[in-house]
Structure 1
Amino acid sequence: MHTTSEGEKPVFSACSQTRKLSNILACTLDLLPLGVRRAGRHPHLARAAVLGFVLGLILAVELGDRGGEEGWLGTPLLALLVIKQELVFSGMIGSGLCVFSKHPIQEIFQHVYSLNGYPYMFHHGDWFCGKSVGLLVLRLSGLVLNAYVTHLHAEYSRQKDIYFAHRVAQAWELAQFIHHTSKNADVVLLCGDLNMHPKDLGCCLLKEWTGLHDAFVETEDFKGSDDGCTMVPKNCYVSQQDLGPFPSGIRIDYVLYKAVSEFHVCCETLKTTTGCDPHSDKPFSDHEALMATLYVKHSPPQEDPCTACGPLERSDLISVLREARTELGLGIAKARWWAAFSGYVIVWGLSLLVLLCVLAAGEEAREVAIILCIPSVGLVLVAGAVYLFHKQEAKGLCRAQAEMLHVLTRETETQDRGSEPHLAYCLQQEGDRA
């Protein structure tokens, strides 16, 4: 984050009713994928720290391990640049959320998502990482900035996405988290790897419920990869399998923002990294970094009352909520099926154990029965763990679905009550203009 300044003071336009309070330079960086070897990590971190001092705020994900501050950057560098460094851990491995901030961080909070994939899909590893969202509260030129950094569950197959319901639930949980924690903020900034395409259900749900704007769509000046893609085939860490049916690249990393209260935010520039790190022959990551310049102004321009919070806007939210509830319903049915199946396995395993105990009481098949008891006990324990996990999964999906139903009911009632007066007002305004 960087403040437009004259002698370290914000610039005010005396001849305009709109005052330019500050500009925010934020960078989101998927810094250290698993494909980058450990030996190459420290230089990337050091340069990220330097960029944090220049830009003011870097929100990074997938920071793999922590060997102490000296193992990353060296204490002298941290002391020299006076950078606030925060690393958020969750799960068994850690979510890898990291922030480099030039300005003092007033508050910090982490929320781990209720659903994070499946523990038995160990080769994917998302459950062990414990995907989460980090919140940082900063004050700049009298503004309260809520900065969020997150990393959602990965999409490993576009055609057979077994994590789709989990990612929709995470998007809703993220939207709810932002909705309930940003009420005292003047500016809201969300950066990170959402692992969703711009038109995906989870991404639409997040933007519709929070009112966040996509910097790529809103920016006046974009420079970087074609269509703003953050995973491109020219990157040596990206394989064609990662891109799936999108050979030209995909856009799954975002800078989203909005203004609260009496402020207005616009994105002047947005850039993505292209090519390799100038100090080496390798790119920073398998994802291209995003850097956005956001201008914060006082007294936003007057909006047309026919478009502000109108029936069409509510209709989009209602449509997205209905589709999301349907997808969560499919996820609930799947989770309950697995819970029921594992329950049958538990009953079958216990019955087998009883039979083996009866055989062990006799003389003829005692040794065989004792040998078979060990795998039978293991089967019951594994089935029990699967049963408990999928029961919790179903509860988490049901909770998200119930929250959506509450919002959907409220929005539908509001739309029904306000559509007729709103339409009459718009028609009257059109008549006055004519």
Structure 2
Amino acid sequence: MLLKVLTLNCWGVPVAVACKLRNERMIAIGDELSKGEYDIILFQEIWDKADYELLKKKMSPSLKYSHYFYSGAIGSGLCLFSKLPILESFYHNFSLNGYAHKIHHGDWFGGKGLGMCRLKFNDIRINLYCTHLHAEYDFQDDEYAAHRVSQAFDMSQFIKLTSTQDNCDLVIVGGDFNVKPESLGCQIIQSNGQLLDSWITKVLWIYLFLVGVLPYIGGVPVAVACKLRNERMIAIGDELSKGEYDIILFQEIWDKADYELLKKKMSPSLKYSHYFYSGAIGSGLCLFSKLPILESFYHNFSLNGYAHKIHHGDWFGGKGLGMCRLKYNDIRINLYCTHLHAEYDFQDDEYAAHRVSQAFDMSQFIKLTSTPDNCDLVIVGGDFNVKPESLGCQIIQSNGQLLDSWITKKSTKSPGNGHTCDLPSNPFTGQKALKFDPDGKRIDYILYRCNKGTSITLEECNVTMGTIPDRKYPYSDHEGVAAIFNVEKTESSDGTEAIGASTIEGNINNCLTAIEKGLKKASSDCTFYTILAIMSVFLLYIISAVEVPYGLGLVRGFVLVLLTLTFGYAIWNRLILNKMEENGLINSKKDMENYLVFLQTEMKTS
């Protein structure tokens, strides 16, 4: 097969002063590339969606398939055109993206990351990646050097994790890396990603990469509330330092001092640990293990609630999915830990679309990084903040091909139905929660899957870590989930039975409905912030122009300051945060639509 690929930075900054002759150049680019000389074209700096639509209109006759990666406040600027059908798409946000106050640079507002699409030509499977790393603005004193190196390593890890020999035959990575061939960034991308430079060799291939596993797992999700936090952390550390579990997954360890306390107490029995740093206050996710941690990776969710909802706090944690690879003898394990967005209003859940997006994003990442080629056992644990029958839980299990340890267990020492949160016996449970769920609810999970050549038996699953011995209060407002697995290598095993495409298709369609509702809410919020900004300016003008009696000048000054802050708040939300939410929702929608087409094709051919 002869495959012709082009990558081009189009210099499409949507500001006339900063980008000369943009419209004329976009027309010329579309005219030239519409000739169909290339099979795949990767673009960077297509910030204005009108430019993307222009290129799409001109190039679609010769390059029928296209995809734009929506991210940040102004879009990632990344898109691709292809003669081959796009089977799946996924976007991984970099955790570091420059600075928000450097508006004249703008990288932060693009939500930069790595776009991925899967294509197929006859029997050749192609993983296609497109990116645009942070620009270098000062060649003598580069303040973004650390950010770019972080992006390069993050990018190489993601490529390595998602492009094993089991799921692709050819890997192509293109884009504006903003680094020279001899630079550290370029070297880490090529060496860690196992990639060759097409300028030197003309071909890019990916090589097999193997990682780790173990036969018994214990997952204890612990949510940290404000009450008696220090006392409870000490009790948690004391209890789990006994070494009963081989692996422990924590959520809501926001304070690093708590992590260090647990580490100090538990390290004699669980020697290895890792904290997933993210957001302004940390992800809250960490794990402890008796087995060495071979690799770690963190995938940020593109949607994480709202920055102005400070009392909720999810946005500040930079929520996502933490991944570690372990190994026990010849059994390799991919271990995932997460904490999805909380539900604060049981009657009118404003975060429903965000949580569905996170659930789909999470299931896609697990599926992409846990093929039979790189692991034997997949374990996923954490506080999902969704009930078993909810759409979020269904999409995680069906698309991720995962089983629920509470459902498949052979035995349990726990009475009841596995509820872990808002239990009536827990003194930290609020009356509002009991009104909707009098018996509590099950939102903490250990899910699992074994791949071909490995067999697994779930010997036991229990709800644990309730009331602290000799105390009147529990370890947390959640109880933990503990599972005991018996895993062995068996050549005759086909692995966990696959969940059918028709089931996944139904869940994806329901997800699309939820995302559409989220987009309508985002549009409504956009209107609200626009009106709020206009009213603030109007009142500022009126109050500034009106004469006030002597002695009320201080009051007027206070009101003017308040209105100015309100105007700034409205503009920031309208132009930046609202657009980030909208782009995140659109990107989830496009990924779901691409995957839906793939599923429908699979069902027709099967």
**Which category describes the TM-score, using the shorter chain as reference length?**
0.7 to 0.9
In the aligned structure 2, how far is the partner of 1:302 from the partner of 1:143?
14
Matched, 1:215 2:215: no
Partner of 1:247: 438
Are residue 339 (structure 1) and residue 530 (structure 2) matched?
no
Query: Cα gap change, 1:294/1:347 in structure 2, threshold over 3 Å: closer, same or farther?
Result: same
Structure 2 residue matching 1:230: 3-state secondary structure: coil
Structure 2 residue aligned with 1:59, among 236, 243, 249?
249
Match of 1:384 in 2: 571
Secondary structure in structure 2 of the residue aligned to 1:29? coil
Please tell me the root mean square deviation across aligned C-alpha atoms, in Å: 3.0
Q: Following the alignment from structure 1 to structure 2, what is the Cα–Cα distance between the partners of residues 112 and 211?
A: 21
Residue 473 of structure 2: aligned partner: 282
Aligned residue in 2 for 1:45: 237
Tell me how far apart the structure 1 counterparts of residues 219 and 558 of structure 2 sit (CA, whole Å). 59
Q: Distance in 2 between matches of 1:29 and 1:369?
A: 51
Show the counterpart of 1:154: 342
- Equivalent in 453, 456, 465 of residue 265 of structure 1: 456
Q: Deviations over 1:303-362 (max 9, x none)?
A: 79xx9658xx221111110010011011011102211331233344445556778x49x9
Aligned to 2:48: none
Cα shift at 1:126: 1.8
Match of residue 190 from structure 1 = 380
Structure 1 pair 279/108, CA: closer, same or farther in 2 (3 Å)?
Answer: farther
What are the Cα deviations for residues 103-160 of structure 1, in whole angstroms up to 9, with x where unaligned? Answer: 1111112222221112222222222233222111101111221111111111122221
In structure 1, distance between residues paired with 2:348 and 2:510:
18
The 5-angstrom pairing of residues 193-204 of structure 1 reads 193-204=383-394
Q: 2:583 aligns with which of 383, 388, 395?
A: 395
SS of structure 2 residue aligned to 1:67:
helix
Distance, in Å, in 2 between the alignment partners of 1:301 and 1:33 is 47
For the Cα contact (< 8 Å) 1:49–1:100, is it kept in 2?
no
**CA distance 1:287–1:301, change in 2 (3 Å):** farther
Match of 1:122 in 2: 310
Structure 1 counterpart SS, 2:242: helix
Task: Say whether residues 1:105 and 2:293 are aligned partners.
Answer: yes
Is 2:215–2:328's contact at 8 Å kept on the other side of the alignment?
Answer: no
Q: Distance in 1 between matches of 2:275 and 2:498?
A: 38
Verify the 8 A CA contact 1:22 1:297 in the aligned structure 2: no
Over 3 Å counting, the alpha-carbon distance change for 1:399 and 1:225 in structure 2 is farther
Query: Could you tell me how far apart the structure 2 residues matched to 1:309 and 1:69 are?
Result: 37
Match of 2:225 in 1: 33
**Is the 1:112–1:131 Cα contact (8 Å) retained in structure 2?**
yes
- The one-letter amino acid of 2:226's match is L
Distance 1:348 1:246 in 2: 42
Establish whether residue 409 from structure 1 lines up as the match of residue 590 from structure 2. Answer: no
Work out which of the residue numbers 348, 351, 356 in structure 2 matches 1:168: 356
Paired residue type of 1:291: A
**Paired amino acid for 1:379:** T
Distance (Å, rounded) in 2 between the aligned partners of 1:188 and 1:308: 14
Q: SS of 2:295's equivalent? A: strand
How far apart, in 2, do the equivalents of 1:70 and 1:318 lie? 44
Task: Work out the CA distance in 1 between the residues paired with 2:494 and 2:594.
Answer: 28
Shift in alpha-carbon separation, 1:263–1:284, aligned structure 2, 3 A: same
* DSSP 3-state at the match of 1:50: coil
Is the contact made by 2:424 and 2:440 (CA closer than 8 Å) also made in structure 1? yes
Q: 1:131 aligns with which of 312, 316, 319?
A: 319
SS in 1 for 2:524: helix
In 1, the alpha carbon distance for the partners of 2:579 and 2:379 equals 35
- Provide Cα deviations, 1:196-248, integer angstroms capped at 9, x if missing partner: 00010010011110100000111111221411111221122223422442211
Give distance in 2, aligned partners of 1:200 and 1:79: 37
Distance 2:406 2:377 in 1: 18
What letter matches 2:410 in structure 1? E
Contact kept, 8 Å, 1:175 with 1:206, in 2: the verdict is yes
Greater displacement, 293-302 / 263-272: 293-302
> Size of the alignment, in residue pairs?
388
1:264 positional shift: 2.3
Identity %: 30
Change (3 A) 1:369 1:402: same
Distance 2:246 2:329 in 1: 14
Q: Closer, same or farther in 2 for the Cα pair 1:68/1:238, shift >3 Å?
A: closer
Report the Cα offset of residue 78 of structure 1.
Answer: 5.6
Bigger helix fraction: 1
Partner secondary structure for residue 89 of structure 1: coil
Residue 236 of structure 1 is matched in structure 2 by 427
CA distance in 1, matches of 2:285, 2:564: 39
2:466 and 2:540 map into 1 onto residues whose CA distance is: 61
Distance 1:415 1:284, change over 3 A: same
- How far 1:56 sits from its partner (Å)? 1.2
Helix, strand or coil for the counterpart of 2:436? Answer: coil
CA gap of 1:347–1:164, structure 2 versus 1, over 3 A, is: same
Distance 1:69 1:179, change over 3 A: closer
1:77-125 per-residue CA deviation (whole Å, 9 max, x = no partner) reads 5664361122223222222212111111111122222211122222222
Letter in 2 for 1:161: D
Q: Take 1:94 and 1:203, find their aligned partners in 2: how far apart are those partners?
A: 24
Name the structure, 1 or 2, with higher relative contact order (CA <8 Å, separation 6+). 1
* 1:261-296 Cα shifts (integer Å, max 9, x gaps): 321222111111275222533221111111101122
The residue identity in structure 1 corresponding to 2:451 is: V
TM-score, normalisation: structure 2: 0.59
1:14 matched to which residue of 2? none
The answer (yes or no) to whether the contact 2:325–2:335 under 8 Å persists in 1 is: yes
In the alignment, which residue of structure 2 is the partner of 1:325? 512
Q: How big is the shift at 1:186?
A: 1.4
- Secondary structure of 1:226 counterpart: coil
**More displaced stretch, 211-220 vs 241-250:** 241-250
Q: Is the 8 A contact 2:235 2:468 kept in 1?
A: no
CA contact (8 A) 1:225 1:274 kept: no
Segments of structure 2 that go 5 or more residues without pairing to the other structure are: 1-212
Residues 341 and 355 in structure 2, CA contact (< 8 A), matched pair in contact too:
yes
